[in-house]
Amino acid sequence: MEIFRKILLYINLLSLDVVFGAMAGMLFFSDLLEVNIAGSVYFLLGLAVWSIYTLDHLMDARGAIGKPQSPRHQLHQKYHRVLSALVICCILIGAFLFFRLTEMEFIRTLGILLGVVTVFWMGFLKIAGPKYSWLKEISTALIYVLGISFAPIAKVDFELIDISVYVFAFVYFLAALVNLLMLSYQDAEVDQKDGFGSVLVLIPKTALKNLIIVLGLTGIGVLVVFSAILPSYYHISSMILGLIIGYHLILFFSKNQSKDQIRRKSEALFLLPFLLLLL
């Protein structure tokens, strides 16, 4: 049992749960649009997500004031050489497959554009420092949703995409944003000691708490309305997103969960779209 707990811990510290969550998100939009996405696209998405998140954690660990407070940044600081080498390998392998595989042609232009924007934006946030760090949660949630949805959307003629797909993308953005804001809320003291900025440079912690509640309830409200007016085909998608957001709010108000438990469970919630494989 202890070995199992350690495995789950390292899966979380190395952001592998985020990687699988992103793949589940792509499956969500593929099911919504009724398109088939090649396994290689899922694999490249995983490489891209892991490389971006790990690179961000490595830069944070490097820029921390003294020894980082969080176990994640401690791990990335301790094994920075190994993880840096793995990131470089993932980028090289990903780039090779992206330009060589024929099944990547339909997303090549959009993929390059999104990748360039993401790299430049990450660089800007690092250079700008804490003053603009409040943009990190919003932009990360936006890039995350764009990353998991653009391949399924690119498979369909834009004129044929129903407005409901964009509404689901918006609610998915709210779910990702609630997740990131929750983590910033619970890590406020640790981030301050390490010298990291967050949305808390813009608003106080009490206002952030209210914002999380409002965003969560907004997402659930949209899904309730959608469930009432849309065909039953969309009900499962609404239910999955509702569970993701709803349980985030339950975790947020939980008094008997540690910060690590909340982090692991909140990240694991984004694996729920894998349930679509059973249908």
Query: What per-residue confidence (pLDDT) applies to 70?
Result: 82
| Assigned token pair, 199 | 């949305």
**Residue 176 clears pLDDT 90, i.e. is over it:** yes
**Residue 196 clears pLDDT 80, i.e. is over it:** no
Closest CA relative to residue 30, chosen from 142, 144, 154, 172:
154
Query: What per-residue confidence (pLDDT) applies to 17?
Result: 94
Distance, in Å, from the CA atom of 114 to the CA atom of 44, rounded to the nearest integer, reads 14
Burial of 184 by CB count in 10 Å (0-12 exposed, 13-18 middle, 19+ buried)?
buried
CA distances from 250 to 216, 245, 253 (A): 11, 9, 5
Query: What per-residue confidence (pLDDT) applies to 33?
Result: 94
Distance, in Å, from the CA atom of 142 to the CA atom of 125, rounded to the nearest integer, reads 15
For the chain, give the percent of residues with pLDDT over 90. 56
Query: What per-residue confidence (pLDDT) applies to 197?
Result: 63
Query: What per-residue confidence (pLDDT) applies to 65?
Result: 66
The pLDDT-based confidence of 169 (bands split at 50, 70, 90) is: very high
156: which DSSP letter?
Answer: S
Q: Which of the residue ranges 23-27, 97-101, 157-161, 222-226 has the most confident prediction, judged by mean pLDDT?
A: 23-27
Burial of 211 by CB count in 10 Å (0-12 exposed, 13-18 middle, 19+ buried)?
middle
| Assigned token pair, 248 | 């985030």
Closest CA relative to residue 75, chosen from 14, 28, 121:
14
Q: Which of residues 64 and 127 earns the better pLDDT score?
A: 127
For the chain, give the percent of residues with pLDDT over 70. 95
The pLDDT-based confidence of 258 (bands split at 50, 70, 90) is: confident
Distance, in Å, from the CA atom of 30 to the CA atom of 27, rounded to the nearest integer, reads 5
Q: How does the average pLDDT of the chain come out, rounded?
A: 89
| Assigned token pair, 2 | 């202890």
Kind and range of the H or E run holding 72: helix 71-78
Closest CA relative to residue 70, chosen from 241, 243, 186:
186
Half-sphere exposure of 225 (CA within 13 A, CB side): 10
